[in-house]
Amino acid sequence: MSAFAVSRFSVAIYYIFIDRSFWREQLAVSQGLIRYRRQKNPSSRRYLLRRNIHRLEKGLSMRHRRPVFALDYIVETVEVYQRCIADSPPTPCDPILDWASDVLCEYFLTVTDHPTVLKARKLFDGFYNSDKGNQKTPVLYREREGAKHGISIDRLSQLSRARRSVRWYTNDRVPRSVIDSALEVASQAPSSCNRQPFRYLFFDEPDQVQVIAKLPRGTAGFAENIPCIAAVIGDLSNFSNSCDRHGIYIDTGLSVMGFLYALETENIGSCILNWPDVEQLERKMEDQLELQKHERLVMLIAIGVPDPEGQIPYSEKSSLDLLRTYNTPADIYKQTLNSDETNEKNASSAQK
């Protein structure tokens, strides 16, 4: 590899002819882009709606707001809103559609006239009147909860120290109500443009759990006692550009952390299970989870009631001095580099 790692061209050659491990990801990214651009399925439309509505609400909340904005995507947003309404079966409350209509109404009330805005507004007015959304007071901004949540840094720190990867569980079933509560927490995570490009698939049927739990290599020795497993799937059809492809990993990670902390508050143990990109395993998992080409399994999570007899590795964490620097971006790196160089010099002079 080192011979190839000198330029973009040589490294591209390496990954085309020698190491094909990026192919699956490239295929998934391209399939996702196609799906996003075609906007043929309801989930892609929902993603586009969430993203665009978020862009509008962000624009509305700006301190020095421009008199008119979003001209390049307001018509698209109204069109996708209209299609999402057509997609969704009538339900008493669909928070995403309600939020979208509130933000659109506020947008049209706020911006100054412009031919594009008028076009979008006409389209919006054409179907909005029959929508139940206009019967309630729009809710656009949240009050910052601030210290009202009552959780002190000490309690949060206590929780973070209490959570550790648990690999030994009792046979007890994990209550689905607890999973739901934890998922409510996970759903509040930040995500790029509020896209929320992931979904959680749970298995608590022992035979199914075992099939999934035995696929990753990192469960050797404890797969048999996992009572519940979650597969967290990233959806690449959320993104209009391949430069955003890492969003599925970042947003999933942020959501999962909330999920783990929430489980911990209910005394449910968990352990993330690595899912490296290994072709044969990917194919098997794709079949088991019935994944589509634009979806990637980001990680698995073993979940269960901790066995009081089970041991938990201590897993010491890095000190703050290693974690952070202020105003000197390369400080730690330079120090490490210097000490590596000194060690190398010492080693070679010792050999002489």
Q: Which residues, 202 to 231, sit near ligand FMN by CB under 6 A? A: 216, 218
**Based on CB atoms, which residue is closest to ligand FMN, 48 or 213?**
213
Structure token pair of residue 78:
């109204």
Structure token pair of residue 138:
């729009």
With CB under 6 A as the contact rule, the residue among 271, 291, 303, 305 that binds ligand FMN is 271
With CB under 6 A as the contact rule, the residue among 10, 242, 274, 342 that binds ligand FMN is 274
**Based on CB atoms, which residue is closest to ligand FMN, 72 or 316?**
316
Smallest gap from residue 249 Cβ to ligand FMN (A): 10
Q: Mapping DSSP to helix (H, G, I), strand (E, B) and coil, where does residue 45 land? A: helix
**Based on CB atoms, which residue is closest to ligand FMN, 158 or 274?**
274
**Based on CB atoms, which residue is closest to ligand FMN, 56 or 166?**
166
Determine if 272 is a binding residue for ligand FMN (CB under 6 A): yes
- HEC-encoded secondary structure of 53-96: HHHHHHHHCCCCCCCCCCCCCHHHHHHHHHHHHHHCCCCCCCHH
Q: Which residues, 180 to 199, sit near ligand FMN by CB under 6 A? A: none
Determine if 232 is a binding residue for ligand FMN (CB under 6 A): no
**Based on CB atoms, which residue is closest to ligand FMN, 66 or 317?**
317
**DSSP letters of 205-246?**
SHHHHHHHHTSSGGGTTTGGG--EEEEEEEEGGG-SSGGGTT
Give dist(CA 295, CA 272) in Å, integer. 19
Name the pairing type of β-strands 295-304 and 269-273: antiparallel
CB within 8 Å of 19: residues ≥ 6 apart:
1
CB within 8 Å of 333: residues ≥ 6 apart:
none
User: Which region among 15-23, 31-39, 198-206, 266-274 touches ligand FMN (by CB under 6 A)?
Assistant: 266-274
Q: Which residues, 75 to 104, sit near ligand FMN by CB under 6 A? A: none
Determine if 304 is a binding residue for ligand FMN (CB under 6 A): no
Smallest gap from residue 253 Cβ to ligand FMN (A): 8
Binding site for ligand FMN (CB under 6 A): 164-165, 167, 216, 218, 271-274, 299, 315
